[in-house]
Amino acid sequence: MEYKSTLKEIEERFDQDVTRFSNLDTGQQTTLDALFNMELITDGIVAVYPELNHVLDIGCGAGNYPVKLAQKMSGFDCTLVDLSQPMLEKAQERVQEVITGEVKILKGDFRTAELKENHYDVIIATAVLHHLRDDQDWEHAFKKLYSLLKEGGSIWIFDLVIHDHDAIQKLIYNNYYGKYLTSLKDESYRDHVFAYIEHEDTPRSLTYQLDLLKKVGFNSVDVLHKKLNFASFVAFKSGTTAS
């Protein structure tokens, strides 16, 4: 595998970007349909869990998803995990202002963090899993996430994906996604984004992730939305969900 950013390098980049990621409207401008998916995922959580107790947000950034969720229901406890301490502090401040439950923060990598097993109703994982590396890392991470959920719990994912066919991958990235990035600013901005994706990220295809979720034990997976190289999807751990 070509050289990829270390966790420390990723942490340092996000340490410098707290202000942008604290904005619900612009925090994920390089991401297609970011605001739509935030609404969709939080609406989905409310629909499935009208009585929500424990939420875990891994790679929480500045806490946008729990903040949005709290606009729809506020009586839940929230655990926030991120590599960046400045991000965590901003997320804690923002989330605690809008929920009535407890907010806990944990600096570090969710793969090794000491988190309660069989504890969370919902795990939110947005724009974080593409930092995983080889197949072993992906499987280990998904097993860990499965172990943290209660029976009937679920993980809600929104992330960058690739396409397994090389020609389709090149078409979507170079033509469609590239044009979108250029429209945000210019071609140099497009090249900048492509460069840090190449340097920092190791995304997998949507089908790869859906299959892996089932392999590690999730009994039900569903695609919520896909647009070009971004997808949102959900997986449920067996058991009775909230009704």
pLDDT (0 to 100) of residue 18:
47
The H or E element spanning position 12 is: helix 7-15
pLDDT (0 to 100) of residue 2:
56
pLDDT (0 to 100) of residue 15:
47
pLDDT (0 to 100) of residue 47:
98
pLDDT tens per residue across all 243 residues of the chain: 456 656 565 545 544 554 544 555 555 678 999 999 999 999 999 999 999 999 999 999 999 999 999 999 989 999 999 999 999 999 999 999 999 999 999 999 999 999 999 999 999 999 999 999 999 999 999 999 999 999 999 999 999 999 999 999 999 999 999 999 999 899 999 998 899 888 888 999 999 999 999 999 999 999 999 999 999 999 999 865 443
pLDDT (0 to 100) of residue 243:
38
Please give the C-alpha separations between residue 12 and each of 9, 80, 83, in angstroms, as whole numbers.
5, 18, 9
d(CA 85, CA 70): 22
d(CA 100, CA 123): 19
Q: Report DSSP letters for 222-242, one per residue.
A: EEEEEETTEEEEEEE-SSPPP
Taking the model in full, what pTM does it have?
0.89
Q: Which residues contact 124 (CB under 8 A, 6 or more apart)?
A: 41, 55, 56, 57, 58, 60, 65, 66, 155, 156
Pick among 3.20.20.80, 3.40.50.970, 3.40.190.120, 3.40.50.150: CATH of 7-163+202-236 = 3.40.50.150
- Number of Cβ within 10 Å of residue 235's Cβ equals 26
d(CA 160, CA 31): 8
Domain boundaries, the chain: 7-163+202-236
